[in-house]
Structure 1
Amino acid sequence: MPRALDLYRNHPRLAALLCGALTAAGFAPLHLAPLALLGVVGLLDLVARAANWKQAALAGWLFGVGHFCIGNGWIATAFTYQAAMPAWLGWLAVVLLSLYLAVYPLLAALGAWMIGRRGGPALVLAFAGCWIISEWLRSWVFTGFAWNPLGALALGSFARPGLAAVLPFTGTYALSGVVALLGGVVMLGLRRGLRDWRGMAGLVAPLLLLSAPFTPLAPAPGPSPAAGPAFTLVQPWIPQDELNDPAMFPRNFARLAKLSTPLAPGEPRLLLWPESGVPDYLREGYPEIAYLDNFGADPIIARTRLGRVAGPGGVLLTGATDLEEQDGRIVGARNAVTAIDAGGAIVGSYAKAHLVPYGEYLPMRSLLTPLGLSRLVPGSIDFWPGPGPQTLDLGQWGRVGVQVCYEIIFSGQVADRENRPAFLFNPSNDGWFGSWGPPQHLAQARMRAIEEGLPVLRATTTGISAVIEPSGVVRNFVPRNQGGRIDGAIPAALPPTPFARLGNMLALLWAAAFLVASVVASRRARG
Structure 2
Amino acid sequence: MNILSATFEPEDRRARLILRFGRIGLALAAGAVAALAHPPFGILPGLLGYALLMFLSERSTTVRGAFWMGWLAGFAYFFVSCWWVAEAFLVNPEQAWMAPFAASALPIGLALFWATATALYRRFAPAGLSRVLVFAALFCLLEWLRGHVLTGFPWNPTGASWKAGSAASQFASVVGVYGLSFVTVAASSAFAPLLNAGSRKARVVTATIGALALALLTIGGAVRLSSARLVTTPTVVRIVQADVPQASKWTPEAYQGIVDRYVNLTGRPGATTPDLIIWPEGALPASANDVFAPGAPEATAIARAVQPGQSLILGLGRGVADPSTPEGARYFNSLFVLTDEGGEGLRVGPVYDKYRLVPFGEYLPAGGVMSALGVRALTHMPLDFSAGPRPAPIHIPGAPAAQPLICYESLYPGFTPGGAGRPGWIVNISNDAWFGRTSGPAQHLNLASYRAIETGLPVVRSTPTGISAMIDPWGRVVPGQRLDPGESGVIDAPLPAPAAVTIYGRIGDLLFWLSVIGSLSLAVPWRRVIRSRIAVS
Bin of the TM-score, shorter chain as denominator length: 0.7 to 0.9
Residues 496-515 of structure 1 mapped to structure 2, 5 A cutoff: 496-515=501-520
Which residue is 1:287 aligned to? Answer: none
Asked if 1 retains the 8 angstrom alpha-carbon contact of 2:55 and 2:195, the reply is no
- Corresponding position: 1:347 with 2:352: no
Given the alignment, which residue of 319, 324, 328 partners 2:320? 324
Give the residue type in structure 1 aligned to 2:319. L
Matched with 1:76 is: 86
| Alignment of structure 1 residues 255-274 onto 2, 5 Å | 255-261=261-267, 263=269, 267-274=273-280
| 1:337 matched residue in structure 2 | 335
* AA partner of residue 23 (structure 2): P
Q: Check the 8 A contact 1:147/1:409 in 2, yes or no.
A: yes
Q: Is the 8 A contact 2:263 2:301 kept in 1?
A: no
Gaps of 5+ in 1: 284-290
Residue matched to 2:74? 64
Report the Cα offset of residue 118 of structure 1: 0.8
Determine if the alignment matches structure 1 residue 110 to structure 2 residue 119.
Answer: yes
Q: 1:390 to 1:300 in 2, by over 3 A?
A: farther
- Does the alignment pair 1:408 with 2:404? no
Q: Per-residue displacement from partner, 1:454-498 (whole Å, max 9, x unpaired)?
A: 111110001011111111111121111111211111111123322
Residues 314 and 139 of structure 1, relative CA distance in 2, 3 Å threshold? same
Which residue number corresponds to residue 87 of structure 1? 96
- Structure 1 residue 148 and structure 2 residue 148: aligned? no
Determine if the alignment matches structure 1 residue 126 to structure 2 residue 121.
Answer: no
Equivalents in 2 of 1:11, 1:420: separation in Å?
52
| Separation (CA, whole Å) in 2 of partners of 1:31 and 1:8 | 31
Q: Corresponding residue for 2:384? A: 382
Q: Is contact 1:319-1:337 (8 Å) kept?
A: yes
Q: CA deviation at 1:367?
A: 5.1
The alignment yields a C-alpha RMSD, in angstroms, of 3.5
What amino acid is aligned across from residue 139 of structure 2 in structure 1? W
Q: 2:186 matched to 1:184? A: no
**What's 1:164 paired with?**
169
Which residue of structure 2 lines up, in the alignment, with residue 229 of structure 1?
235
1:467 aligns with 2:470: yes
| Equivalent pair of 1:154/1:210 in contact (CA under 8 Å) | no
The alpha-carbon distance between structure 1 residues 370 and 314, as it changes in their structure 2 partners (threshold 3 A), is same
> What per-residue deviation string (whole Å, max 9, x for no partner) do you get for residues 182-202 of structure 1?
2122224566879x9758846
Question: What do the CA deviations read for 1:209-234 (whole angstroms, capped 9, x no partner)?
Answer: 899999x9997664421125111011
SS in 2 for 1:147: coil
Q: 1:364 to 1:170 in 2, by over 3 A?
A: closer
Does 201-210 or 22-31 show the bigger shift?
Answer: 201-210
How far is 1:381 from its partner? 2.9
The sequence identity of aligned pairs, in percent, is 30
Q: Deviations over 1:214-260 (max 9, x none)?
A: 9x999766442112511101111010112233321211122212222
Contact 2:275 2:398 in 1 (8 A): no
Moved more, 323-332 or 441-450: 323-332
| Greater CA drift, 170-179 or 96-105 | 96-105
**What CA deviation, in whole Å up to 9, does each residue of 1:387-407 have, x standing for no partner?**
121211114312011111111
Gaps of 5+ in 2: 7-17, 529-537
Matched, 1:450 2:453: yes
Match of 2:307 among 311, 333, 345: 311
Separation in 2, partners of 1:274, 1:410: 19
Alpha-carbon distance change, 416 to 246 in structure 1, aligned in 2, over 3 angstroms? farther
Distance in 1 (alpha carbons) for counterparts of 2:453 and 2:421: 18
Paired AA for residue 238 in structure 1: V
Q: 1:406 to 1:213 in 2, by over 3 A?
A: farther
Distance 1:316-1:10 versus aligned 2 partners, 3 A rule: closer
Whether the 8 Å contact between 1:190 and 1:203 is mirrored in structure 2 is: no
**Equivalent in the alignment of 1:286:** none
Contact 2:319 2:330 in 1 (8 A): yes
Letter in 2 for 1:410: Y
The range that moved more, 205-214 or 398-407, is 205-214
Instruction: Say if 1:275 and 1:427, in contact at 8 Å, map to a contact too.
Output: yes
Task: Please state whether the residue corresponding to 1:229 is helix, strand or coil.
Answer: strand
Q: Is the CA contact (8 Å cut-off) linking 2:168 and 2:218 kept in structure 1?
A: no
| Distance (Å, rounded) in 1 between the aligned partners of 2:378 and 2:248 | 15
Q: Which residue of 2 aligns with 1:490?
A: 495
Classify 1:212/1:308 alpha carbon distance in 2 versus 1 (closer, same or farther; 3 Å): farther
SS of structure 2 residue aligned to 1:11: helix
**What is the Cα deviation at residue 369 of structure 1?**
5.0
Per the TM alignment, residue 155 of structure 1 is displaced from its structure 2 partner at its CA by 2.6
1:249-289 Cα deviation digits (max 9, x unpaired): 21112221222235459935110110011334444xxxxxx
Looking at structure 2, the residues matched to 358 and 240 of structure 1 have their Cα atoms a distance apart, in angstroms, of: 18
Contact 2:353–2:389 (Cα < 8 Å) also in 1: yes
Q: How many residues align?
A: 505
Change (3 A) 1:56 1:322: same
Instruction: Report the Cα offset of residue 148 of structure 1.
Output: 0.7
**1:118 is paired with a residue of what secondary structure?**
coil
Q: What letter is aligned with 1:87?
A: A
Instruction: From the superposition, tell whether residues 514 and 299 of structure 1 become closer, same or farther in structure 2 (CA, over 3 Å).
Output: farther
Contact 1:116/1:522 (8 A) holds in 2: no
State the alpha-carbon separation in 2 of the partners of residues 154 and 298 from structure 1.
49
Tell me the TM-score normalised to structure 2 length.
0.84
Question: 1:230–1:489: 8 Å Cα contact kept in structure 2?
Answer: yes
Higher mean C-alpha displacement, 315-324 vs 514-523 = 514-523
Q: Report the Cα offset of residue 203 of structure 1.
A: 7.7
Aligned partner (choices 103, 107, 114) of residue 98 of structure 1: 107
Looking at structure 1, the residues matched to 365 and 119 of structure 2 have their Cα atoms a distance apart, in angstroms, of 30
Shift of 1:365: 4.8
Matched position secondary structure for 1:279: coil
**Counterpart in 1 of 2:24?**
13
The amino acid of 1:270's aligned partner reads L
| Residue aligned with 2:469, SS | strand
Q: Measure how far apart 1:65 and its partner are.
A: 1.5
Q: For residues 420 and 200 of structure 1, do their structure 2 counterparts lie closer, same or farther at Cα, with a shift above 3 Å needed?
A: closer
Instruction: Report the Cα distance in structure 2 between the residues aligned to 1:264 and 1:99, rounded to whole angstroms.
Output: 49
Kept after mapping to 1: 8 A contact 2:32/2:73: yes
Kept in 1: contact 2:136–2:182 (CA 8 A):
yes
Report the Cα distance in structure 1 between the residues aligned to 2:514 and 2:223, rounded to whole angstroms.
34
Which residue of 117, 124, 139 corresponds with 2:147?
139
Q: 1:483 to 1:264 in 2, by over 3 A?
A: closer
CA distance in 1, matches of 2:346, 2:379: 28
Query: SS at 1:403's partner residue?
Result: strand
Larger C-alpha radius of gyration, 1 or 2?
2
Cα distance, 1:136 vs. partner?
A: 1.3
